[in-house]
Amino acid sequence: MDRSSHSRSRRLAPIVAVAAAAALTLAGCSSSSGGKKSEEGGTAASAGKASTPRMTVALVTHQSPGDTFWDIVRKGAQAAADKDNIKLVYSADPNAGNQANLVQNAIDQKVDGIAVTLAKPDAMKDVIAKANTAKIPIVGLNSGLSDWKKLGLLEFFGQDETVAGEALGNRLNSEGAKKVVCVIQEQGNVGLTQRCDGVKKTFSGTTETLYVDGTSPTAVKSTITAKLTQDTAIDHVVTLGAPIALIAVQSVSDAGSKAKVATFDLNKDLTGAISKGTIEFAVDQQPYLQGYLAIDSLWLYKNNGNYMGGGEQPVLTGPAFVDKSNVAKVAEFAAKGTR
Amino acid sequence: MSQETQPAVATPPAPGPKEKDGRTAQRPLVLRVLARPDVGVFLGAVAVYVFFLISAPPVREASAMANILYQSSTIGIMALPVALLMIGGEFDLSAGVAVITSALTAAMLSYQLTMNVWVGVVAALVVSLGIGFLNGWLVVRTGLPSFLITLGSFLILQGVNLAVTKLVTGNVATDDISNMDGFDQAKALFASSFDIGGVQVKITIFWWLFFAAIATWVLLRTKYGNWVFAVGGNKDSARAVGVPVNFTKISLFMLVGFGAWFIGMHQLFSFNTVQSGEGVGQELIYISAAVIGGCLLTGGAGSAIGPVFGAFMFGMVQQGIVYAGWNPDWFKAFLGVMLLGAVMINLWVQRTATRR
Amino acid sequence: MTDNHSTTHGAVLADEAPADGAPIVELRSTGKSYGNIRALHGVDLKVYPHQVTCVLGDNGAGKSTLIKIISGLHQHTEGDFLVDGTPVRFSTPREALDKGIATVYQDLATVPLMPVWRNFFLGSEMTKGPWPVRRLDIQKMKETADRELRNMGIILDDLDQPIGTLSGGQRQCVAIARAVYFGARVLILDEPTAALGVKQSGVVLKYIAAARERGLGVIFITHNPHHAYMVGDHFSVLRLGTLELSAERADITLEELTNHMAGGAELAALKHELSQVRGVDTEELPEEEDLTAPVATGPEGKS
C-alpha cells in the first residue's frame, strides 16, 4: 500500500466517531408512531395437517426477482403444502427457456407433482410433454388460460387476463369514465398487454397505452405526470400492478389532474389507499388462491383422483373487485401479505 | 523563487519572453470552445429541447419543464459520481441496485426497530459508503477490471436486496414508514417540492445543480480533481509522480455510494416504501448520461457539467416522447434514435472543432 | 506545498559535494529475483552529483529492473541500496521522491489528456486558501510552469493544451523540467531517446546536460552508445542481469563502448562465423583482445 492508506484512515476516523456517537444515541431515537411495534401480530390461516404420505411438489413460475405478486402466490402454495404434508420446491425464472429448464430439473428430481405458469406456452410445450411421459401430474396456474388444455395439463387455476380487463372496462363505463390511460410497466409482457386490450375492448370511451420503466419509480412517476399534463382529458389512470398504482396517485397530484386511479392486483399499502379513497378500486385475481389451489389440487389428484374444474374447465380465481365497500375485510388479510 | 539567482543553464538558448513555438499556434476561440466535451452535449441537449418545444406543445408549459427536470435530476444526481468515477478510469455496474440497497436499509432498520427514520438514514449512508469502499478496495487490491468486480457486487446486491427484505419483512417490499418520527423532516430534505411562480419544483433539481457545481469546482480547482484526471488518464504515471492512486480510486467508488444513498433516500421518502427488485438496469442509464456528457469510457477526460446535460437529454427525450403523444409502442425505439441523434450532433461538433 | 517545495529545492541549490565526493545513490552487489527468475544480480553502481551515469544494455539485460528498484516501484532482494550512505528500502515511488530521486519514464512520463501545467504539478500541486475551500493556485502554477520550462529552453504557447499534443521529445523535456523543479537530486531517465528522431534526441540530450549543470546526478538508461557517450561521465553495461562493464569516461572510447554494448565477446564469435560467408568484410570488426576496458566481474563472472 502506498501512503494513501494512512490518509484514508485519518479521513475515516471522524466518520467512525460519528457512527459510534450515533450508535450511542440510538436508544433515544425510537419512533413514537408507526413502525414494527404498532403492527398487530397475526398468523396466516392454518388448518390441521393431513396424515397422507409425504410428497414433493415443484412450483415453477416466471416470477422476476422482487415482485410482490408472486410472493403472495408462494404463500398460498406454502399454506397448502403445510396442510397437505407436502414438501414444496419453489423455483422461478422470467426467461421462458430457463423456466423450462427448471421444470426439467423437477422432472429429473422425480417429484410427485408440478405446478407451472405458462407465460410463454410454446417454450413449455416440450418439457410438459416430458412430464406427462414420466407420469408426473402437472397443473397450470396464473397465465396460460388459452393453452393449458392443449399442452396436456390436468387443471388450471387463474384469471383470464382479457376477461379481467374486460370487467375493468365495464366497471369504468359504469363509473362514467371518458378517457383512460393504461400504464404498462414492462413492454412486451403478454399478460399485461392482454389486460390493457381487455379494457380497450369493453370500455366505451378512449383507451390509450403508456409504457413506463418499472425498475425506476421516479421514472414511472414523471412519465405518468407527463402523460397527464399532455392530455388533460384523461379522467382515469389504470395501472397493472399495485406499486405502480401508488406511484400514479402521486403523479396525479403532481400534474394537478382530476384523474382517478384504478388498478389490477392488490397489496397491503393499496388496501390503505382504497380505504382512504386515493385509489378507486382494484381488480384482484387472488394470487394466494392460485398458489393454494394448484398445490392442493395435486394432493387431491394423488390421494383421491379428483379433478378441480372437472378437468375440462379452468378454475377462475378472478376478477374480484376490491373497492371502498369491501376493502375493510380484504385489508385485514392484505396486512398479513396473503391477499 | 530561488531560480532567479541561478543563471539559466548554458546549453538551451535563453528564450525571449514572447518567443513562440510556431507549431502550436492558437486555434480560433470559437473552435477551442466547441472542442470542449461539454459544449457538444450542451448543443445536443439544446437541439433535443428545441425539437420537442416544436413537436410537443405541452413542453412549453413551466410545469412540464419542472417534471422533465425532476426526471433528469434523479438520473443526474447519480450520473455525477458515476461520471467522476469514469474520469477516474473505473466503472460501477452496481450503482443502480445500490440505490435500492440504501433505501431498503433505511426503511427496514427504522421500521423493524421502530426507530426515528434518521437512524435508518444514517445507517444507510454508512452501508452505501461501505459498499463503495469495498468495490474500490477490491478493484485496487486485485487489479481486476472494475467491470468484473462491480458486476459481481451488482449480482450480490440484487440477491441480498431480495433475500434480506424477504427475511426481515416476510414480503418483497418494505413497510410504509410515512407515519414514523422524523419522516417529515427527512422528506423535506430529500423529497419535498417548492412553489415557484405557481409551479411545483422538486427539491432534487436544486440538489442536482448544487452537487454539479461542487463536482465541477472539485474537478477543476482542487488537488483531488487533478488526481481524478490523472488516475484515469495514466494510472502508472500518476503513481510514479506520487499521486495516491488507491485513495483516489476508492474514494471515487465511495462517492458513487454517496450518490446511491441520496437517490435511495429520495425514493424512500417520496414513495414511502421500497420494492426490493427495483433499480436493475438503472446503472446503464447513469453510465449513458455520463458518456453522452462527454466522459471518456476509457477514463482521463470529461467534466461534471457534461453529465448534467447528458441527464437532461435523457430526461427530456424520455418525457418528451410522452408529451408529444407519439405511439407508445415505439417508445424505446424513439428513445434510442433520439439519443443516437444527440450523440451524433455531439460527435460532429467535436470533429468540426478539433479539425485544424 | 509551496513552502515545502522551496525548502527541498533550496537543499538542491546549496553546494553539493563535488563529483569526487560521496555518492548520492549507491548499489552494492544488489540483485532482484521475481520468484525463481533472477532478473538482476550483483550490480554495483554509484551516482554522484554533477555526473551523468549511463546504464546501457540490450533488451532484457535488467535495465528496467534496476530503475524500478531505485525509483521505489520494486524492492531489491539481494545486496544493499544506499541513499546518502544509509541503507534504504522504498515501498512506494513517493518515498523515493521524498529522498530526491525522480524518475522520468519513457512511456509513462505524463498523463496525455491533461494540460501541460497540470502535468507539471501533478502530485505536488500548489494550493491556496483554508480547508474546505483549499483550491489550486492555477495562476501561480501556470506562471511557474512557464518560467521553469523556459529556463530549460522549452517554449510553449499554450500551457492549457493537453500534453499528448506535444512531440515525444517535448514531453520528455517537460518531465525532466518537472523533476528538476521539484528538487530532484537524482534524475533517472528511462530510455528518453528510444522513440525519438535524431533532432528530437539531440534536444533531450541537451536537457540531460542542463540537468547535470544544475548539479543533479543523472542516471541515463539507454541502449544507444552514441547518445550515452555524448553526455556520460560513467558507463555501466548490463548483460543478462549482471554488470559487464563499469568504466569512467576517461578509460573508454566510444568504439569500445559500442563493442561492449553490441555484445563484445559474442560479437567476436559472430565475426568468425560471418567470415565463413563470402562477401562479409570482417576486417573492420574488433577482435576479442581489443576489448581492453576494465571489466567488472560479478561473483559469478561474465555470463
Amino acid residing at A154:
L
| Shortest distance, CA C24 to any CA of chain B (angstroms) | 20
Chain B residues within an 8 Å CB radius of C10: 2
How large is the average pLDDT for residues B172-185?
88
pLDDT at A43: 47
Show the domains of chain A with their CATH numbers.
55-159+286-306 (3.40.50.2300), 161-284 (3.40.50.2300)
Chains that touch C (3 or more CB pairs under 8 A): A, B
Mark which residues 93-122 of B lie under 8 Å from A by CB: 96, 110-119, 122
CB within 8 Å of C91: residues ≥ 6 apart: A2, C72, C75
Is B270 at the interface with chain C, CB within 8 A? no
CA A211 vs CA A214, B332, C54: distances in Å: 9, 9, 70
Determine the average pLDDT of the residues in C146-164. 82
pLDDT at C13: 38
C94 touches chain A (CB under 8 A): yes
Q: Give the pLDDT confidence of A178-191 residue by residue, as tens digits.
A: 999 999 988 777 78
Q: What's the one-letter identity of residue A39?
A: E
Q: What is the ipTM of this complex?
A: 0.77
- Residues 6+ away with beta carbon under 8 Å from A2: B239, B244, B245, B246, C91, C92, C94
Q: Tell me: the pLDDT tens digits for C5-46?
A: 433 333 333 344 444 578 889 999 888 888 888 888 888 999
Q: Is the pLDDT of residue B5 over 60?
A: no
Q: What is the pLDDT of residue C286?
A: 56
pLDDT digits (tens, 9 = 90+) for C72-89: 888 888 889 999 988 988
- Domains, chain C: 2-114+184-200+207-290 (3.40.50.300)
Stated pTM of the model: 0.78
**Range of lowest pLDDT (A79-88, B47-56, B165-174, C212-221):** B165-174
Q: What is the pLDDT of residues A289-324, one digit of tens each?
A: 999 999 999 999 988 888 888 878 889 887 889 999
Write out pLDDT tens, residues B79-126.
Answer: 999 999 999 999 999 999 999 999 999 999 999 998 899 999 999 999
Q: Is B175 on the interface with A (CB under 8 A)?
A: yes
Q: Do B222 and C151 touch (CB under 8 A)?
A: no
* pLDDT for position A24: 52
Ordered by start, the domain boundaries in chain B are 36-354
pLDDT for position A12: 57
Is the CB of C93 less than 8 angstroms away from the CB of B243?
Answer: no
Buried b (16+ CB within 10 A) or exposed e, A283-310: bbbbbbbbbbbbbbbbbbbbeeeeebee
pLDDT at residue A23 in the model: 54
Residue B270 and residue A218: Cβ atoms within 8 Å? Answer: yes
C123 in reach of chain A (CB within 8 A): no
Strands (E) in chain C, as ranges, are: 25-34, 37-47, 51-57, 78-83, 86-87, 101-104, 127-128, 135-136, 186-190, 217-222, 234-239, 242-248
| Model confidence pLDDT, tens digit, residues B271-315 | 888 888 888 889 999 998 998 888 888 888 888 999 999 999 888
Does B242 lie at the interface with C, CB-CB under 8 angstroms?
yes
Q: For residue range B147-159, list pLDDT tens digits in order.
A: 999 999 999 999 9
The percent of residues in chain A predicted with pLDDT above 90, rounded, is: 44
Span B36-354: which CATH code?
1.10.3470
Confidence of residue C65 (pLDDT cuts 50, 70, 90): confident
Q: Does A3 touch chain C (CB under 8 A)?
A: yes
The grid coordinates of residue B51 equal 425539437
How far apart are the CA of B295 and the nearest CA of chain C, in angstroms?
A: 12
Residues 6+ positions from A21 with CB-CB distance below 8 Å: none
With CA atoms as reference, the chain B residue closest to C98 would be B242
Chain C contact for B9, CB < 8 A?
yes
